[in-house]
């Protein structure tokens, strides 16, 4: 199992050499079968970041959606229409917790996808939709993923959750935070049991409060930082993460062998 970061940028990162933080999880079955690919989030610049890795939209068997910010779902209209019109109606599975599916369609995708040449459409016209339940997680290609609801934006009126993943490869387990506030008490048991941690990390002078900031992450215990890779960062000069005890900042296109 291999996890490749198509980009490692934040939502607004405009670095010419980076893209939004979407990932490709690839498993290759025994024998000479084609690899199976799960795209983890499909942001508004996915068509560029995936092309950079050599992928077309029909190279994916499934897409997992963590939450509804456009750096995580803004590429779904492109994927739906490109697969429908250009790639012979290729259908990817769309995996997301069931709470996200109605708002994903009603508030994000319906305007561009409802009316098409085959009449009125819905999400299931383009994708094989698999509503997930956070408590039970899901299986993909024989691997189990726990779904971890993590608060991402907390206000007096409401909380927006992102749905992080805890996955287990044959050899290594990993915790992928997606977009989350700094919440060490809630995350510590996952930090401790994961072999690898992929952590969203804000950089720069502004502490937005909706992502863990580097200044906060650096306070984590040394044994947690020693297995933590940082991504979803802005285009500021990066601190020396290795000197601070982290594995480092993930570079765009970097892959991890998860066994
Ligand atoms: Zn994001
Ligand atoms: Zn977000």
The CA-based dihedral angle spanning residues 210, 93, 56, 251, taken in that order and rounded to the nearest 10 degrees? 30
Determine if residue 141 is left, alpha or beta; phi over 0 gives left, psi from -120 to 50 gives alpha, anything else beta: left
Residue 43 DSSP SS3: coil
CA of 118 to the centre of ligand 1 (A): 33
What confidence score (pLDDT) does residue 169 get? Answer: 81
CATH class name, domain 2-257: alpha beta
What confidence score (pLDDT) does residue 117 get? Answer: 86
What confidence score (pLDDT) does residue 259 get? Answer: 83
**What sections of 114-226 are H helices per DSSP?**
123-126, 184-193, 214-217, 222-225
CA of 161 to the centre of ligand 2 (A): 9
pLDDT tens for each residue of the chain, 259 residues long: 999 999 999 998 888 899 999 999 999 877 767 899 999 999 999 999 999 999 999 999 999 999 999 999 999 999 999 999 999 999 999 999 999 999 999 999 999 999 988 789 999 999 999 999 999 999 999 899 999 999 999 999 999 999 999 999 888 999 999 999 999 999 999 999 999 999 999 999 999 999 999 999 999 999 999 999 999 999 999 999 999 999 999 999 999 999 8
Indicate which ligand has the atom closest to the C-alpha of 233. 1
What confidence score (pLDDT) does residue 28 get? Answer: 85
Q: How far apart are CA 64 and CA 23, in angstroms?
A: 10
CA of 69 to the centre of ligand 1 (A): 6
CA of 195 to the centre of ligand 2 (A): 24
Q: How far apart are CA 162 and CA 249, in angstroms?
A: 22
| Domain locations in the chain as residue ranges | 2-257
CA of 67 to the centre of ligand 2 (A): 7
What confidence score (pLDDT) does residue 139 get? Answer: 95
Which of 190, 194, 179 minimizes the C-alpha distance to 233? 179
What confidence score (pLDDT) does residue 25 get? Answer: 97
Which of 161, 164, 188, 163 minimizes the C-alpha distance to 175? 164
């Amino acid at each position: 199992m291999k996890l490749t970061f198509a980009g490692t940028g934040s939502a607004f990162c405009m670095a010419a050499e980076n893209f939004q933080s979407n990932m490709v999880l690839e498993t290759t079955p025994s024998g000479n079968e084609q690899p199976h690919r799960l795209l983890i989030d499909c942001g508004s610049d996915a068509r560029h970041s995936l092309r950079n890795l050599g992928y077309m939209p029909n190279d994916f068997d499934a897409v997992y959606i963590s939450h509804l910010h456009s750096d995580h779902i803004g590429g779904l209209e492109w994927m739906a229409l490109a697969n429908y019109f250009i790639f012979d109606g290729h259908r990817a599975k769309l995996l997301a917790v069931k709470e996200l599916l109605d708002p994903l369609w009603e508030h994000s995708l319906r305007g561009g996808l409802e009316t098409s040449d085959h009449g009125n459409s819905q999400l299931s016209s383009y994708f094989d939709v698999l509503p997930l339940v956070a408590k039970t997680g899901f299986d993909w290609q024989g691997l189990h993923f726990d779904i971890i609801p993590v608060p991402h934006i907390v206000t007096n009126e409401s909380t927006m959750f992102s749905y992080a993943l805890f996955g287990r490869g044959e050899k290594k387990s990993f915790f992928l935070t997606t977009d989350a506030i700094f919440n060490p008490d809630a995350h510590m048991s996952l930090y401790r049991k994961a072999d690898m941690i992929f952590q969203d990390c804000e950089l720069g002078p502004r502490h937005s409060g909706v992502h863990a900031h580097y200044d906060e992450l650096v306070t984590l215990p040394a044994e947690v930082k020693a297995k933590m890779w940082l991504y979803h960062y802005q285009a500021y000069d990066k601190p020396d993460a290795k000197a601070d005890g982290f594995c480092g900042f993930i570079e765009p296109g970097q892959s991890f062998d998860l066994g």
